[in-house]
Amino acid sequence: MTDTKDMIAEVCSWIEPDLQKVFPDELSDDITVRASLYSLLAGGKRIRPCFMYQSARMLGMDPDEIKIYAVALEMIHTYSLIHDDLPSMDNDDLRRGMPTCHKKFSEGIAVLAGDNLLNRAYELLFSAKDHKAGAYIAGLAGINGMIGGQSIDIDSEDKKISLERLYELQRKKTGALLEAAICTPCIVAGCPDDIFETMKQISLHIGLAFQIKDDILDVLSNEEELGKSTGKDERDNKQTFVTMLGLEGAKERLDEEISGAYDKISYLKEKGYDTEGFAALTRFMAERTF
């Protein structure tokens, strides 16, 4: 656990300087740029960059080769949080232990800051070497991926949905960007199909595990540790893996997803890949308390 925290800290110091520089200096006074950077630099676990970094390492790449994709992905993730937190969406006041973007600035500026981060991410992706990777990330961020999941989410409010539908929702809403994090290095490296497919399976397990753990923490953790509102799912009458499977059922399912991921990681290890860092990060996902 301590080692993993060190590893996360290492990835943070790897990526933070690049996140700080995503907008040109001469725009540093612009209100939308300030709001965008406020949210982008608010910390957080940087889970997606961590997975992309470890995935690149596992494939024997220099992580710097995929850094620009990790930066763009973190910008896309941050825009989605800013818009999700809006009063017309999840109406959250607290994020990563700080006031949400619309609380700190205004709703109008928060809408614009989200748009700005999304658009800027694509400017970066067009400037990057591998446009196949850009296209791949765009597909996972959109209506067939993250936005599709948000759409199911917003459409499910005050409706009873099936467990199947909840899986689809979360596979897209949370899973798609984790898939982008884990599999983009495969695209850049030009991995053979079976490796790409294995990595994709791993990412599906990790995406679900991540969301189940989030749902569990919403019940068991406290605001101080988590840095965002807790007990919110119940207050909002939200259907989660905990409400559907019960707390014990959710924990069991989390274990199953983590085991599923480990099985596939073992397959890669047998193939000769150095899976140590990636496996540790996966374990951390299941054991984290924030």
Which residues bind to a second copy, rule: CB under 8 A?
23-24, 27, 30-33, 79-80, 83, 86, 88-89, 102, 106-112, 114-116, 118-120, 122-123, 125-127, 131, 134-135, 138-139, 141-144, 147-148, 150-152, 154-155
Q: At what angle do helices 276-287 and 241-270 cross, to 10 degrees?
A: 170
Q: Which is nearer to a second copy, 9 or 135 (CB)?
A: 135
The answer to whether the beta carbons of residues 171 and 208 sit under 8 Å apart is yes
- The least distance separating a second copy from the CB of residue 118, rounded to whole angstroms, comes to 6
Looking at the DSSP assignment, which residues form a beta bridge with residue 194? none
Which one, of 113, 270, 121, 278, lies nearest residue 205 by Cα? 278
Q: Which is nearer to a second copy, 155 or 194 (CB)?
A: 155
CA dihedral 254, 240, 199, 64 (to 10 degrees): -110
- The least distance separating a second copy from the CB of residue 65, rounded to whole angstroms, comes to 19
The answer to whether the beta carbons of residues 59 and 20 sit under 8 Å apart is no
Q: Which is nearer to a second copy, 127 or 222 (CB)?
A: 127
Q: Which is nearer to a second copy, 82 or 226 (CB)?
A: 82
Q: Which is nearer to a second copy, 103 or 253 (CB)?
A: 103
The answer to whether the beta carbons of residues 233 and 226 sit under 8 Å apart is no
Backbone angles phi, psi at 171, to 5 degrees: -60, -40
- The least distance separating a second copy from the CB of residue 134, rounded to whole angstroms, comes to 6
CA–CA separation, 207 and 111 (whole Å): 26
- The least distance separating a second copy from the CB of residue 259, rounded to whole angstroms, comes to 32
- The least distance separating a second copy from the CB of residue 242, rounded to whole angstroms, comes to 23
Structure tokens at 20: 């700080």
Which one, of 89, 74, 72, 86, lies nearest residue 133 by Cα? 72
Q: Which is nearer to a second copy, 8 or 33 (CB)?
A: 33
Q: Which is nearer to a second copy, 37 or 279 (CB)?
A: 37
Q: Which is nearer to a second copy, 83 or 205 (CB)?
A: 83
- The least distance separating a second copy from the CB of residue 40, rounded to whole angstroms, comes to 13
The answer to whether the beta carbons of residues 76 and 134 sit under 8 Å apart is no
Q: How many residues does the chain have?
A: 290
- The least distance separating a second copy from the CB of residue 99, rounded to whole angstroms, comes to 16
Residues of the chain by 3-state class (helix, strand, coil), percent to 5? 75, 0, 25
Question: Would you tell me how many other CB atoms lie within 10 Å of the CB of residue 180?
Answer: 29
- The least distance separating a second copy from the CB of residue 199, rounded to whole angstroms, comes to 21
